[in-house]
């Protein structure tokens, strides 16, 4: 019994000594990288669900009137719709476009990376929700209804942002 215990003890030491420290570090680093990649993928999935939940909420408001300062449920202004859509999805953004632009939750992205549910800012005074291609969705101005808007040379977003958790 004692002989088996000693043999096991010396075998474990031999194995520990035979693994070079650099190889052990590389294995630990690889495991850490794999965990980080899995965590990043999980976060990306959550952010996609967030964007699409906000998108679906905004779509349900289609046809309601633009109301200056409105945050629903009977009408919205541009930032009020974005604020309410993301709040319904579980993230509270600042209420105004200026506040949103200063929020730590917004990460600027190029248009080529913008996805449905990201934010499209027209300067610092107007925001809509990006759809795809040359389309946004939002509350444009007094006298209009919430809906889709086609970008053109005179009216197009100048900045795009994703909302991070």
Contacts of 159 (CB under 8 A, 6+ apart): 108, 120, 121
* 108 in Cβ contact with 23 (< 8 Å): no
- Quote the number of domains for the chain: 1
> How would residue 43 be classed by pLDDT, with cut points 50, 70 and 90?
confident
CA distances from 133 to 48, 68, 73, 113, 148 (A): 18, 28, 28, 11, 12
Q: Containing domain of residue 80, as a range?
A: 49-163
Q: What is the pLDDT of residues 52-63, one digit of tens each?
A: 999 999 999 999
Q: Is residue 20 in some structural domain? A: no
Residue at 96 is within a domain: yes
- The residue ranking higher by pLDDT, 27 or 72, is 72
Encode pLDDT of 79-138 as tens digits: 999 999 999 999 999 999 999 999 999 999 999 999 999 999 999 999 999 999 999 999
* Residue 34 falls inside a structural domain: no
What's 76's domain CATH number? 3.90.1720.10
Q: Judge whether 15 lies within some domain.
A: no
pLDDT at 26 over 80: no
pLDDT of residue 161: 97
pLDDT of res. 36: 84
In a domain, 40, yes or no: no
Q: Which is more confident, 27 or 110?
A: 110
Residue 114: the pLDDT is 96
> At 4, is the pLDDT very low, low, confident or very high (cuts 50, 70, 90)?
low
**Is 60 exceeded by the pLDDT of residue 17?**
no
pLDDT number for residue 83: 97
12, part of any domain: no
Give the whole-angstrom CA distance, residue 24 versus residue 27.
5
Mean pLDDT computed over every residue of the chain: 86
Do the domain assignments include residue 98?
yes
Do 117 and 93 form a contact (C-beta atoms < 8 A)?
Answer: no
């Amino acid at each position: 019994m004692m002989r088996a215990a000693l043999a096991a003890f010396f075998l474990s030491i031999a194995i520990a000594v035979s693994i070079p420290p650099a190889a052990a570090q590389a294995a630990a680093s690889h495991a850490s990288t794999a965990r980080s990649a899995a965590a990043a993928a999980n976060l990306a999935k959550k952010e996609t669900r967030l964007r699409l939940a906000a998108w679906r909420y905004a779509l349900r408001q289609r046809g309601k009137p633009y109301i200056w300062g409105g945050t629903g449920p009977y009408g919205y202004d541009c930032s009020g719709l974005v604020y309410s859509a993301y709040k319904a999805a579980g993230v509270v953004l600042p209420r105004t476009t200026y506040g949103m632009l200063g929020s730590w939750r917004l990460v600027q992205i190029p248009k080529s990376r913008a996805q449905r549910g990201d934010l499209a800012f027209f300067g610092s005074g107007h925001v809509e929700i990006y759809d795809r291609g040359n389309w946004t969705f939002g509350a444009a101005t007094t006298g209009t209804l919430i809906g889709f808007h086609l970008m053109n040379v005179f009216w197009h977003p100048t900045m795009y942002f994703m909302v991070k958790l």
